[in-house]
Amino acid sequence: MGVRIKSTGISRDSDTFSIVDHSGRAARRSLERAGVRSDQVGVLINAGVFRDSNTVEPAISALIQKEAGIGLDYTYGDPRTFSFDLMNGAVGVLNAVQVAQSILTTGGVEHVLIVSGDTHPSLARSAGDDEFPYATSGAALLLENTEEPEGFDTVHIVSGDGTPAIRSYVDANTMGTIGRTLMTVEREAGFEQRLLDAAVEAAEAALGESDSATTVLISSTPTPDFPRALADRLGIAEVRTPDLSAGDPHTATLPLAYDLAVEQDSLREFTRVLFVAAGAGPSAAAVLYRLPAPVGVAA
């Protein structure tokens, strides 16, 4: 038994900058695409970091759950959906996959829904820049158990030494009365190389003896060139990325890239996807995902 991606959903709509809106829409779209009812989702995990107006309480997962229309009935005997935030920067989605594997393995729920995405706290823009490089978007992965020979392998995690490489914080000395609209992002000199080193270590552990010729890489995008540089270090020829025209989608990068690759039917020639994420810490995580065999082709 394994855990597979049942469906994906994304939101890059231009009518809102709210990550609650985007993540809620992505969640609903993933359910609609899969033909899964909201009461079949036992757990919702939010891996997003940068949120509307720097909201601290309540948990953003609860707001997204409400926006998605999941678990809103409270009469006796109604199914319950538990939601929580799991924040670890760009690595958060793969941390959430690891948690979802444990939850689904117990058999207590049918589906786990992972949502991710970020926005500028001012809610006044959707494109990144030098000071805040992250693009506004929402994404969702709907996961379920499967008896088929497909799905996620073990998630491998690496923590680097030294300073964090990337820091994000609200500067209390300068926030004044507009702190809910501000976020400071600092990237240390050489941050990309440090993230790359951590990513390579995690990816090599995940790859093991797998055939790199039939594996496609989907990685985080702390810089536009990061996925290609990582692929070259790993000896992987093919890379799939999301639309980066508005900047780094940060926590939404992996599901956005996978969703686009499926939409474009560009995974047909491969047997596995190597998902790799690297971010502040520096930290990295990687996992192999065995793709379903194309229709009409034996696994």
SS (H, E, C) 3-14: EEEEEEEEECCC
Residue spans of beta strands (DSSP E) within the chain: 2-11, 41-46, 82-85, 111-118, 137-146, 151-152, 156-159, 166-169, 184-187, 215-219, 238-239, 272-279, 283-290
Contacts of 279 (CB under 8 A, 6+ apart): 88, 89, 90, 91, 166, 195, 220, 222
* Nearest CA-CA partner of 65 in 123, 8, 115, 118: 115
Alpha-carbon distance of 122 to 180, in angstroms, equals 7
Assess contact for 20 and 89: CB atoms under 8 A: no
Residue type, 30: S
Assess contact for 28 and 138: CB atoms under 8 A: no
Contacts of 149 (CB under 8 A, 6+ apart): 2, 290, 299
Assess contact for 181 and 296: CB atoms under 8 A: no
Residue type, 239: V
pLDDT at 76: 61
* Nearest CA-CA partner of 222 in 297, 101, 108, 134: 134
pLDDT at 78: 63
pLDDT at 74: 64
3-state secondary structure of 245: coil
Assess contact for 287 and 205: CB atoms under 8 A: no
CATH number belonging to domain 156-290: 3.40.47.10
CATH homologous superfamily of 2-149? Thiolase/Chalcone synthase (3.40.47.10)
Name the helix (H) or strand (E) containing 249. Answer: none
| Residue 138, strand partner residues | 11, 117
pLDDT tens over the chain, length 299 residues: 689 999 999 999 999 999 999 999 999 999 999 999 999 999 999 999 999 988 888 899 999 999 999 987 666 666 678 999 999 999 999 999 999 999 999 888 999 999 999 999 999 988 988 889 999 999 999 999 998 889 999 999 999 889 999 998 888 777 777 778 888 888 999 999 999 999 999 999 999 988 888 999 999 999 999 999 999 999 999 999 999 999 999 999 999 999 999 999 999 999 999 999 999 999 999 999 999 876 544 44
Alpha-carbon distance of 228 to 95, in angstroms, equals 23
DSSP letter assigned to residue 188: -
Alpha-carbon distance of 19 to 75, in angstroms, equals 29
Instruction: Judge whether 2-149 and 156-290 match in fold.
Output: yes
Supply the pTM of this predicted model: 0.93
DSSP letter assigned to residue 294: P
Residue type, 195: L
Alpha-carbon distance of 27 to 3, in angstroms, equals 18
Assess contact for 236 and 212: CB atoms under 8 A: yes
- Domain locations along the chain: 2-149, 156-290
pLDDT at 297: 44
